[in-house]
Amino acid sequence: MQLRTYPLIENCMKKWTSNFELGETLTYEQKAFFDEHGVIVFRNFINQETVKTFISEMQRIEKDWIAENREKVNGIPLKFGKDEAGNKTIQRFCFMNQYSAAFKGLLEDPRLQVLTELLYPYEGRIAEDEKDGLVFNNYINTANSAFTQMGWHTDSPRDLFLGQKIMPMLNVGIHLDTCLFENGGLRVIPGTHKQSMIKLLFGKKYFIDNSDDDKEVGFDIYSGDLTVHDGRTWHRVKQSPLIGEASRRRVMYVPIITGKYKPKSENSKTPFYHRLATKVPR
């Protein structure tokens, strides 16, 4: 399938490569590419020293939260698993920016603020204390892994569960591990951010459908890269064929959102869609 390309972007057998880098402003090519496809990759957003700092901060917080038997943060459940040695681990953290100066500083990076322009004409904001805050995913495939992939979904229906209309949003990923195309990882169906509401809600079986799609594309993602996808875009995480440390995928996500300001606190109730997550086949 031939897909339209822009300078610095090429398509090869469903794998796209990118030489875009995120600066103090967005270029015309970057805006145009995202407007058409609903996804974009920026290389070298953070350096390797910063990657090490973020991993160290995650490990510190994980140790503290496991020791205190913490199960939720601001009403959002943590997700747990086990490493290769059988030790308890946290696979999905939330609101990390509220527990670390390093993560708080990340959300204050002016380059992230620049990304709000991708929501024009809406006025976007970084969800520091809304949704799930800064999320940290830390997954590794082991022989006993129960969660190895995430089926097709969009991020938009969460608004419906919260009793509000679907609003434009961005999901920004900061990748701490290299994940090459052939090793699974993020897959998207370009252009689906402009689909009809019917296709957005019923185009695929949410989280259940893990099948390949003729229109999907992926990327070679390198440690330090940043990805952005429109919340209305169909995407999934394809299972890695690797086992053990080679399969580890640590990604931080922060939403850039629009609409009414709705902060979370320790008194917040658990959203219904998080309860449904326990029913989703892995």
In whole numbers, what is the pLDDT of the chain averaged over residues?
Answer: 89
pLDDT (tens digit per residue) in 140-182: 887 666 555 689 999 887 766 566 778 899 999 999 999 999 9
CATH number of the domain enclosing 100: 2.60.120.620
Residue 235 near residue 152 (C-beta atoms within 8 A)? yes
87-101, 144-158, 187-201, 229-243: least confidently modelled range: 144-158
Whole-angstrom distance, CA of residue 27 vs CA of residue 128: 26
Residue among 200, 143, 139 at smallest CA distance from 168:
200
Q: Confirm whether 23 is domain-assigned.
A: no
Whole-angstrom distance, CA of residue 109 vs CA of residue 90: 26
Q: Confirm whether 9 is domain-assigned.
A: no
- Whether pLDDT at 239 is above 90: no
pLDDT (tens digit per residue) in 122-131: 999 999 999 9
Q: Confirm whether 211 is domain-assigned.
A: yes
Name residue 16's beta-bridge partners.
11, 219
Structural domain tally of the chain?
1
pLDDT (tens digit per residue) in 76-124: 999 999 888 888 999 999 999 999 999 999 999 999 999 999 999 999 9
120-129, 214-223, 273-282: least confidently modelled range: 273-282
Whole-angstrom distance, CA of residue 98 vs CA of residue 107: 11
Structural domain of residue 106, as residue ranges? 30-279
Name the most confidently modeled range: 133-137, 200-204, 258-262: 133-137
Q: Which comes out higher in pLDDT, residue 10 or 270?
A: 270
